[in-house]
Amino acid sequence: MNLCDIETIRAVLGRHGFHFSKSLGQNFLTDESVPRRIAEMSGAAECGNAIEVGPGMGCLSAELCRRADKVVAVELDRALMPVLAETLADYDNFEVVHGDVLETDLAALCKEKFGDGKAIACANLPYYITTPAITALLESGAFEQVTVMVQKEVAQRICAEPGTAAYSAFSIYVQYHAKTEILFDVPADCFVPRPKVDSAVLKLVPLDKPAVETKDEKLFFSLVRAAFNMRRKTLVNALGPVLGSSMSKEEITALVEAAGLDARVRGERLSLAEYAKLADLAAEKLSN
């Protein structure tokens, strides 16, 4: 059964009375080369254990099952359970769990299904849960590699470098936790229903330790968020809401300059290392 064939998709979904849910951002792949490439690059064959978020019709699930020892999918839409039971009936190494990835303890799920073994994760993420889902996957600490398909613009933002328009607080968050790489683009016409924008497949390899060392991680991210919440303002002015209750504007200016930065710089130009240095100096100042 070709699970990416449009006629097969219509026939299977029709048998089960399934209707696409706009609220869940459901789009199914119609180009069989895409799930094959994702599975090949996912690390599933090397790792042996795979978690899939949002299996849909099961086209990526099938490719993962051909490579991994065990595949466990987390699916929110109960209407897809009988669909998956049909499309993946030939694979005894596949299991689907009903649940919301944002409310699932992924580390506990991996422990239950794979014992002490590590796992990889794959997901085709709808736009509305991209940020929280990637956050959950990275913070679980359960995965050797996370391979996700997201909107192309989101993938570019995650991999963006300082000083570019795409660089954001989320760029810094993900790069703090993982090595990032865009593997390939996926045109909108590879899906049904056809989305309005192109997608990209993104590879995230969680780091053993954060990309930069900082004395106060909470303060580090508070400064990052403040800087990007007011990205058109200078860093000195943007940090006011976070540091202003403890420091004067002159003291914040001195802090920025002590970090080796121009007082007129905007937050979008700082690297992770520069934010870490700034956060450490701020932590030292606030503790005195």
Q: What 3-state DSSP class applies to 203?
A: strand
- 54 in a known ligand binding site: yes
Question: For residue 263, which of 239, 234, 287 has the smallest C-alpha distance?
Answer: 234
Bridge partners of residue 28, in order along the sequence? 192
| Interatomic CA distance for residues 50 and 203, integer angstroms | 15
Question: For residue 220, which of 166, 181, 259, 248 has the smallest C-alpha distance?
Answer: 259
| Interatomic CA distance for residues 34 and 91, integer angstroms | 20
- 124 in a known ligand binding site: yes
Give the angle subtended at the CA of 174 by the CAs of 225 and 134, to the nearest 5°.
105
| Interatomic CA distance for residues 118 and 116, integer angstroms | 7
| Interatomic CA distance for residues 244 and 230, integer angstroms | 15
H-assigned helices in 72-129: 81-87, 106-114
- 100 in a known ligand binding site: yes
Q: What 3-state DSSP class applies to 217?
A: helix
Asked if residue 222 lies in contact with residue 242, where contact means CB atoms within 8 angstroms, the answer is yes
Q: Write phi, then psi, for 111 (nearest 5 degrees).
A: -60, -45
First to last CA, the chain: 67
- 75 in a known ligand binding site: yes
Residue numbers in the known binding site for S-adenosyl-L-methionine are 27, 29, 54, 75, 100, 124
Binding-site residue set: 27, 29, 54, 75, 100, 124
